[in-house]
């Protein structure tokens, strides 16, 4: 397993996001998880380099739709919590 760690400073929120590059046949091409400080960590699996290269534009372009899906999920959760709150 090869591990490379890269920290990027996101200007908008001034949040450091950890990027880790690995090579592991048993893991998927990309994983978004939490680091030790509960901040986002992106793991990119070099083992799937051909697939990642082939779909690089689609992967890069999914950020907006991923954000939209997270917003839907959170709005649904907040709506449910609000309904519970109204009936308490």
Q: What is the mean pLDDT of each run of 10 residues along the chain (88 residues)?
A: 54 75 97 93 97 95 92 96 91
The answer to whether the CB of 68 falls within 8 A of the CB of 77 is no
Q: Which helix (H) or strand (E) holds 62?
A: helix 56-86
User: How many CB atoms are located within 10 Å of the residue 45 CB?
Assistant: 22
pLDDT of residue 68: 94
In what side-by-side order are the strands of the sheet with 30-34?
4-10, 15-22, 40-45, 30-34
The answer to whether the CB of 20 falls within 8 A of the CB of 4 is yes
Question: What is the pTM assigned to this prediction?
Answer: 0.71
């Amino acid at each position: 397993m090869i591990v490379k760690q890269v920290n990027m400073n996101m200007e908008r929120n001034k949040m450091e996001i950890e990027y880790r590059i690995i090579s592991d046949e048993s893991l998927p091409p990309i994983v978004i998880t939490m680091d030790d400080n509960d901040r986002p960590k992106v793991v990119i699996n070099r083992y799937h380099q051909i697939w990642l290269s082939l779909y690089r534009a689609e992967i890069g372009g999914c950020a907006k739709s991923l954000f939209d899906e997270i917003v839907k999920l959170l709005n649904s959760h907040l709506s449910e919590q609000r309904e519970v709150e109204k009936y308490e």
